[in-house]
Chain A
Amino acid sequence: MTPVHLAALAAPQLLLAGASLVLLVVGAFRPKAIRLVAGLGVLSLLAAVGVVAIEPLGRAFGGDLVADQGAAFAEAVIYLASAAAILLGQPWFARRGQARFEFPILILIAALGMGMMCRAADLISLFVAIELQSLSLYILAAFEKSDGKSAEAGLKYFVLGALSTGIMLYGVSLIYGFAGGTSFARIAAAVAHGASGGVLFGLVFLICGLAFKVSAAPFHMWTPDVYEGAPTPVVGFFAGAPKLAAMVLLARVLTESFGPALAQWRQILVVMAILSVAVGALAGLRQSNLKRLWAYSSIASIGYALIGLAAGGPEGVQAMLVYMTLYVVDVTGFFACLAALAREGRPLESFADVSGLVRQRPGLAVAMTVFALSGLGLPPFSGLWGKFYVFKAAISAGLAPAAVAALIGSVVAAYYYLRLVKVMWLDAPEGQIDAPPAEAAGLAYAAAFFVFPVVLIALMALDPAARAAALALVQG
């Protein structure tokens, strides 16, 4: 393979790495040109989406790098979500006098890491990619230096993240030891005639590490604290894109290298899924802080995505991809709403803060209602369609009990989604709310417009794209 061919296969990664290095130099010499750096960051992410759409497919570096439809689909969503995070975050920090040129660069590098996660078919590149995005996210969580809570969030995320990395690395070393190689193809060959205990032991640890990254119960402890403390636009970013990347990576590991061991990993995923839905629904009931509430909501959402993955096969992976894509739009939009709302410069974060919102900011109140109802899975919003795909895949794979358990979780969770709607529409308002900044409100409206009604048209394109992506992921 010629260097040109190799470069073409890694084109989006090269583009993002090059852009982040160039912008770093620009920022170091022109520290005041933050808007320029942010604008160029958004442009390079959009360019990366374009490159993903047209680049050639293939494998390179012995599986370290796989360019297929599965990676392309997820990367397009991830890069768009990252661009939204820069658009949302840069003005947000600027309003607080915290704007620094490193913010867009860290988002770029995190996006690069997530793209590499989607493309990894080797344990080495899997690990390096996860570390690249995790390290960037730890820093982003602690980005608001004047806020002690932000520092606490960063530290908690870092310490627990380091622990999960250790667990995952232990699993990786065991898999390497027993399979005799790090590439997914080699592992698949080793487990083709039944997986030995050692490989399965390693697999369990690997799943635990990845479950931490997607905040699936019982590895979710960090989520509420980190979401509460971290800056709002950053939370909107790491509640969405990194989880999609980790889910795609999990799908690739499980189907490509551990396909024959389906029966073994399915039970792990089903247990984690049901626990996640239960924790998300029950613990969410007692929250008064909206960021913590949405942390639990995201834990429950990951539960549904895991059920899709546990169903296995192209149908299950497709359900997971559709669900996660719609979820990313939903959660980005919700945190855009929160970033848009402030009272005398203080962000609105609790139920009491948003009471009677509809009388002061009807547009944003409607948008938040849309996101809440979509999270609940009410027709005709996008959340329903995601759940529809997941339940369909689960039932055809014989996982009907898990689907029923998840449905019960949904019903319990309906309480807090509807409570948010009730507080915003029926309660009395208190105090004047600041005029929402244009970019945050714009993003919120755009996302709400996608959740309903654009999703009905978008699904027509999303369905075949996710189907092709799932086929590529499953067949390796």
Chain B
Amino acid sequence: MPLQAIAFYVLAAVTVFAAVAVVFARNPVHSVLFLITTFFSAAGLFVLMGAEFLAMMLVVVYVGAVAVLFLFVVMMLDVDFASLRQGFARYLPLGALVAAVLTVEMVIVAADVAHLGAAASSTGPATPSAVMTNVEAIGAVLYTDYVYVFQAAGLVLLVAMIGAIVLTLKHRPGVKRQSVAAQMARTPKAGVRMVTINSGEGVDA
């Protein structure tokens, strides 16, 4: 048990520290790297809770795909972060007020947790039985109990694809495209011209 507790506190501390560093890092590339650190330690927290599948997905999807994409975007787009920060002082009072209200509310929630205990702890273990793995447990419900929302989530992704195409695809006239059928249908007759060249003269002369 103490080993688990130590692991939890180390991972939790790293998560919080890295998350704060994401916001405060001056260099956006550093921000993204800290974000990756946050994802990794959060994945560690998932493992401690017995949710190996979520941990795996967090690393594969967020670290492997999303964070790398962020890194590309940050490096390829020349965003002037100094100008983005200019309004900081002006909006600070309002931001501080919102933050203060949120903090007070979170304290109330935390007090509630201390009083009643979060009810989620009563929903049972991460997997229905000791012999079942995470993946099996998710697989058992994904296409049965949750098939409706799972398919709807698929439609959300489809809309995102349609949107990307609708908003960015431009059919410019005069662009030469590859047409495999036309290439395959081409015969020597269409492409090759036999000429007899007399010595000392050019081809098109």
Contact = CB atoms under 8 A, between A and B. Distances in A.
SS of B interface (majority)? helix
Interface in B94-124: 105, 108-109, 111-113, 115-116, 118-120, 122-123
A190 B119 contact: yes
Interface string A373-400: 0000000000000000000000000000
B162 A112 contact: no
A417 interface: no
A247 B67 CA distance: 36
A270 to B, nearest CB: 20
Nearest to B165: A102
Nearest to B111: A197
A109 to B, nearest CB: 6
B119 A17 contact: no
A132 B146 contact: no
A64 B145 CA distance: 9
A62 B145 contact: yes
B123 to A, nearest CB: 5
Interface in A121-138: 124-125, 128-129, 131-132, 135-136, 138
A142 interface: yes
Given A116-B152, A135-B156, A197 B108 contact: yes
A143 B166 CA distance: 8
B109 A197 contact: yes
A135 B153 CA distance: 12
A65 B120 contact: no
Nearest to B120: A177
Given A124-B149, A128-B149, A128-B152, A139 B166 contact: yes
A196 interface: yes
Nearest to B168: A145
Contact of A178 (B118, B146, B160, B166): B118
Contacts of A201: 105, 108-109
Question: How many residues of B sit at the interface, in one of the four size bands?
Answer: 20 to 34
Interface in B162-188: 162-163, 165-167, 170
A468 interface: no
Contact of B148 (A64, A132, A138): A64
Nearest to A62: B145
Nearest to B108: A197
Contacts of B153: 128
Given A132-B156, A198-B113, A201-B108, A176 B148 contact: no
Interface string B13-41: 00000000000000000000000000000
A139 B161 CA distance: 11
A413 interface: no
A425 to B, nearest CB: 41
A60 interface: yes
A136 B159 contact: yes
Interface in B114-160: 115-116, 118-120, 122-123, 145-149, 151-153, 155-156, 158-160
A61 B119 contact: no
Contacts of A216: none
A180 B155 contact: no
Given A102-B166, A139-B159, A197-B108, A178 B149 contact: no
Interface string A86-111: 00000000000000101001100100
Given A102-B166, A132-B159, A196 B116 contact: yes
Nearest to A112: B155
A430 B160 CA distance: 44
Nearest to A64: B148
A278 B115 CA distance: 40
A129 B153 CA distance: 9
B166 A100 contact: yes
A235 interface: no
In this complex, the member of A142, A177, A198 whose beta carbon has the largest number of chain B beta carbons within 10 angstroms is A198
B148 A60 contact: yes
A160 to B, nearest CB: 15
A36 B149 CA distance: 30
A179 B145 contact: no
In this complex, the member of A17, A100, A178 whose beta carbon has the largest number of chain B beta carbons within 10 angstroms is A178
Interface of B: 105, 108-109, 111-113, 115-116, 118-120, 122-123, 145-149, 151-153, 155-156, 158-160, 162-163, 165-167, 170
4 closest A-B pairs by beta carbon, nearest first, are A180-B119, A139-B163, A198-B112, A197-B112
12 contacts: A102-B162, A135-B159, A139-B163, A142-B167, A143-B166, A176-B120, A177-B119, A178-B112, A181-B123, A190-B119, A196-B115, A198-B112
Given A17-B151, A62-B145, A198-B108, 18 more contacts: A10-B148, A61-B146, A61-B148, A61-B149, A102-B162, A102-B165, A109-B158, A109-B159, A124-B146, A128-B149, A128-B156, A131-B156, A132-B159, A176-B120, A177-B118, A197-B111, A198-B112, A201-B105
